[in-house]
């Protein structure tokens, strides 16, 4: 059994990790940390886990994280890089759901996250945790930087086109929407029900932290210079993400060939569903699952391809993807513990 520790188990990605790992057949939950909730049974905070998780939260100084096989960090940026050296030295693998190990460019990290990177040497060896595009590196990694939720949709939506050299990489547009849970489990005016409900707004239009991450990874898929306009929006729902991606075709390619390009790219991917051409995937079709769905459109059979991508921002966009990485790192079938059927309605 894989002994698992979770640092920061009180947020939305933390409880999602608990939900997934509690029924994972190869996992033993060993430690869950929270300074504020030290000693509180997990099930008292999250009644949905009653009968599934019998651990109590413990402060980080009490938790025996170095006795785990892997530790997930569901924490704010900066926490994982502070603790990773000690854990790695003890032979513990690390999966960070924040941004500490996503960007290889330390200057970009420090610009966007307003803090110095404390272990750039470890950053160089960290694997980027988007399984469909980086499986081999993840399998061999000691440390994984889990992708951001928006970057997951943009990369999987654009990868087949960029790899085929079928689009103008310098003029990409991603119009993305996320549910309120993407902002985290904290008291903040903008995410109060009376503020976010019955409302729709863009944010981060002039620059968003997920832009440099996405650009860095997309640039690995093509020799051309990548230019991306990325606009995120907050929608009045709890969970779910919908990205509408626009790209100009530079090759003479018909719709059937476009569809085949995506189907062939993802035919062996258990968590990517390429829907029939012209479909309209809905966020609820992925709710509480690790599935990501893609559909292609070509308005008026012109030179613009529109890629629609949906996922649950807390599962494939965060905790489910992290467990998918863990499975690979420990030689398991990557689907283990992740074959949840989406919830409807």
The catalytic site residues sit at: 149
What residue has token string 């059927």? 341
Determine the distance from the C-alpha atom of residue 289 to the mean position of all C-alpha atoms in its chain, rounded to a whole number. Answer: 13
Concatenated DSSP letters of 169-222: TTSEEEEEEE-GGGG-SS--GGGSHHHHTT--EE--TT--THHHHHHHHHGGG-
* Residue among 199, 146, 210 nearest 176 (CA): 210
99's tokens: 């941004």
Strand 241-248 with 304-311, pairing = antiparallel
What is the H or E stretch that residue 73 is in? strand 70-73
Cα pseudo-dihedral 163, 167, 169, 171, rounded to 10: -160
């Amino acid at each position: 059994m894989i002994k698992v520790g979770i640092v920061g188990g009180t947020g939305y990605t933390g409880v999602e990790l608990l939900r997934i790992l509690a029924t994972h057949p190869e996992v033993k939950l060993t430690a869950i940390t929270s300074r504020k909730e030290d000693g509180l049974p997990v099930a008292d905070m999250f009644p949905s886990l009653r009968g599934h998780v019998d651990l109590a939260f413990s402060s980080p100084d009490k938790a025996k994280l170095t006795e785990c096989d892997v530790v997930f960090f569901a924490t704010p940026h900066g926490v994982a890089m502070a603790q990773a050296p000690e854990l790695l030295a003890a032979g513990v693998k690390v999966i960070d759901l924040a941004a500490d190990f996503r960007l290889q460019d330390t200057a970009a990290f420090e610009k966007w996250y307003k803090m110095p990177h404390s272990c750039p040497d470890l950053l160089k060896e960290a694997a980027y945790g988007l399984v469909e595009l980086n499986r081999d590196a993840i399998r061999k990694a000691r440390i994984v930087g889990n992708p951001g939720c928006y970057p997951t949709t943009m990369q999987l939506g654009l990868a087949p086109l960029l790899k085929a050299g079928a689009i103008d990489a310098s003029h990409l547009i991603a119009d993305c929407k996320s549910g309120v849970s993407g902002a985290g489990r904290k008291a903040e005016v903008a995410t109060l029900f009376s503020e976010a409900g019955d409302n729709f707004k863009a944010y981060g239009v002039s620059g968003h932290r997920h832009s440099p991450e996405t650009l860095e990874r997309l640039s690995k898929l093509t020799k051309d210079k990548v230019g991306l306009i990325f606009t995120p929006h907050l929608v009045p729902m709890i969970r779910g993400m919908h990205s509408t991606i626009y790209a100009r075709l530079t090759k003479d390619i018909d719709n059937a060939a476009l569809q085949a390009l995506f189907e062939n790219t993802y035919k062996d991917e258990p968590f990517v569903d390429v829907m029939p051409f012209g479909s309209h995937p809905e966020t609820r079709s992925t709710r509480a699952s690790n599935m990501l769905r893609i559909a292609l459109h070509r308005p008026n059979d012109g030179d613009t391809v529109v890629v629609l991508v949906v996922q649950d921002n807390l599962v494939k966009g965060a905790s489910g993807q992290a467990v998918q990485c863990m499975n690979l790192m420990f030689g398991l079938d990557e689907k283990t513990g992740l074959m949840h059927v989406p919830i409807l309605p």
